[in-house]
Structure 1
Amino acid sequence: MAIDAVGSMPSIMATRNDPMPHKFKIGQRVRQSRGGFGATKDVSGLLCEIIRLMPEDRTGEPCYRIKSPAGERAANESELVLAS
């Protein structure tokens, strides 16, 4: 990392791109449009609630902690649709 003219290290946050905003908010009801990586059973269409916003995955996609009658798990934003 280069040292700036003042002689201090630049902030890592200043050099990082702005993160993608989360599409869903805590407490919203969503449905899983498809199972995630390593899903062992069909969970598509399962009604869930967003319980926590999580950092993006390695690809920069926002992630969530969701809760359903089947339990809690992490889910990528692309796996979720707003429940009507």
Structure 2
Amino acid sequence: MVSLHTIYHLWIKRQTDKCFDGTTFERLEQIYYFDQKLRVLMIKMWCQSLVALWIEIRHFDGNNQDEYMFFSQNNKKL
């Protein structure tokens, strides 16, 4: 599977190659806004995977809630 990062770079390269052929300013703006949206999407996906990893590491579900409450109450006493 091709990563989103690779698709992003290939698309930007293709668009910038076109720009040297006399692309209008509006087209450059479209490329810029697409670039920004794609960067935001990549950051969101990265954050979601970090959260998923954190949840997986903690195995945080209803069974561990008592353990979580115990540690959080003890930390407040310190």
When the two structures are superposed, what TM-score results if normalisation uses the length of structure 2?
0.26
Bigger radius of gyration: 2
Q: Which has the higher strand share?
A: 1
Q: Which has the higher helix share?
A: 2
Higher relative contact order (CA 8 A, sep 6+): 2
